[in-house]
Structure 1
Amino acid sequence: MLQGGYQSVLEAQSRDQFRSEIIRFAQGLGFATVSATVVVDHTLGDSEFETVDNTPTSFANYFLDKSNWRLDPVMQHCKRQSVPIIWNQGTYAAVGQETMWEEQAQFGYKTGIALALHLPEGRHFFVGVDREQSLPNDVSLVTRMLADLQLFAVYAQEAAWRVVMPSAQENFALKFHLTPRELEALRWTMDGKTAWEVGAILSISERTAVLHISNAMRKLECTTKHQAVLKALRLGLIR
């Protein structure tokens, strides 16, 4: 079921579908609640957030209060690091925030796993799963949970930019001013097609295909078409 969840979340076509898929995955992993947040840093101190979650309604305002995020050791860990964190009461007690843990524990947030993917151009993707019961004592089971969540995050973040914050994705394309034809040429180049093959696929001449690829390289500030493909992939301009 978990393997199917990777592809399902990747193919989500709406925010509601994305939400259903992350909940289904989290529950299949053994966690009752889940949250996924996309963040774009515009300037220092100015960031845009969008969160998709199944937080209990009675806890939602507290959970989404960004002033609490600045005190939350889990959020602060994810903000600064890319390695996952397994958290529990001790995580909060260690930084003098046991009262915060007690507040959220009333709603089932007693332990969990959280991680962040820090992407180019000031983009970040956070995902966390939470539950009331302790994690298994079997280290191999916990390790498997971590691996499953890390892999799921890679798939989920790609869908999140498309359905949760599509404006961010469009802004990256606009920033580099790549045309639809240039992006198409890069996509086919990624698949190993030559300029002649790209031209045949797009019903243009080989010379025009070379021009589109060269323009994409120049706009992305790359010296080879392979570098341009990799940068476009990192920026989420092509899949």
Structure 2
Amino acid sequence: MSGHDARLIHDLARAILTEPQPIRVWPLLMERLTADLPGDLAVLIDLDWQAGTGHALTGKPDWLHQAPLDALINTHMRAHPLLRHYARTVDRAPLTLDQLADDGWWKSEAYHVGKAAIGIDRQLALPLSSRLGQVRGVILSRSGQGYTDRDLEYAGLACSLLDTVSAHERVMSNIARLADPAEFGITPREMTVLALLNEGLTAHAVGSRLRITERTVVKHKENLYRKLRVHDRVTALNKARALGLLSSEPPCH
């Protein structure tokens, strides 16, 4: 990969990590992908092939939010070569429409309706990890010139970032239901220690995991006990669960 493309991937990763509002990450990705590859539009889709249903979760440019994307997906998804391929295989490598489409596709109603509605022409799919029969990923489109080997190489690296974002999103959606530690004066570092204690780790093991001294872990524990108004580990964990700081059930091992 060229130095320029490597910088693009680096900048994209940094933008993801530093975005202060997680809800902004996917629109940010759509915007960056259309600029970096480049393309006319990018859409994040989620399909259930067996049920024959799907949704466009977000996209760029903004006018796509007024386009009949869900109707297009639900009516024509089974005819689309890229969607059909990912639904029927475990392949999760980026592919272009040109690699899979035959003459029947370019003459089909699905192609012409899509082209008239949102300009479907040349397309590149960046699939995310998903179970067989589910299709989740980003579809990029542009008119005229097809996607190149360089675009596919970039897309392969970008897919790793997209999968990481997707996994982070699932974790954050769970964390979002928990109480805010700041309401109890608990710092992020103390919360990390509390979560590791909840996993059953000793103070020594917590220190090794976080690369801090056991003495520092003990100090964090003392601060937690004081802030939670308890005097021992078991009571601290039980109270943290009752307050919504930890999941109501201890982690399974």
The answer to whether the superposition gives a TM-score over 0.5 is yes
Give the number of equivalent residue pairs. Answer: 191
**2: CA distance, partners of 1:103 / 1:161:** 34
Deviations 1:209-230 (A, max 9, x none): xxxxxxxxx935xxxxxxxxxx
Alignment match, 2:124: 113
SS, match of residue 193 in structure 1: helix
**Of 104, 117, 123, the match for 2:114:** 104
Q: Which runs of 5+ in 1 are unaligned?
A: 137-141, 172-178, 209-217, 221-239
Alignment match, 2:208: 193
Matches within 5 A, 1:161-176: 161-163=167-169, 166-167=172-173
Moved more, 104-113 or 119-128: 119-128
Alignment match, 1:86: 96
2:163 is equivalent to residue 157 of structure 1:
yes
**2: CA distance, partners of 1:108 / 1:25:** 17
2:12 is equivalent to residue 9 of structure 1:
no
CA positional deviation for 1:116: 1.7
Conserved in 2, the CA contact under 8 Å of 1:89 and 1:101?
A: no
CA positional deviation for 1:2: 1.9
Query: TM-score, normalising length from structure 1?
Result: 0.58
Moved more, 144-153 or 52-61: 52-61
Q: What's the % identity of the aligned pairs? A: 12
**1: CA distance, partners of 2:52 / 2:207:** 40
Alignment match, 1:139: none
CA positional deviation for 1:98: 1.9
Which structure has the larger Rg?
A: 2
Q: Which runs of 5+ in 2 are unaligned?
A: 1-6, 178-193, 222-232, 234-250
Query: TM-score, normalising length from structure 2?
Result: 0.56
Alignment match, 1:219: 252
CA RMSD of aligned residues (A): 4.6
Sort the Cα spacing of 1:123 and 1:15 in 2 relative to 1 into closer, same or farther, 3 A. farther
Alignment match, 1:25: 33
Conserved in 2, the CA contact under 8 Å of 1:36 and 1:125?
A: yes
- Partner letter of residue 151 of structure 2? M
**Of 92, 108, 128, the match for 2:139:** 128
Higher relative contact order (CA 8 A, sep 6+): 1
Conserved in 2, the CA contact under 8 Å of 1:116 and 1:127?
A: yes
2:67 is equivalent to residue 58 of structure 1:
yes
Sort the Cα spacing of 1:162 and 1:71 in 2 relative to 1 into closer, same or farther, 3 A. same
- Partner letter of residue 130 of structure 1? S
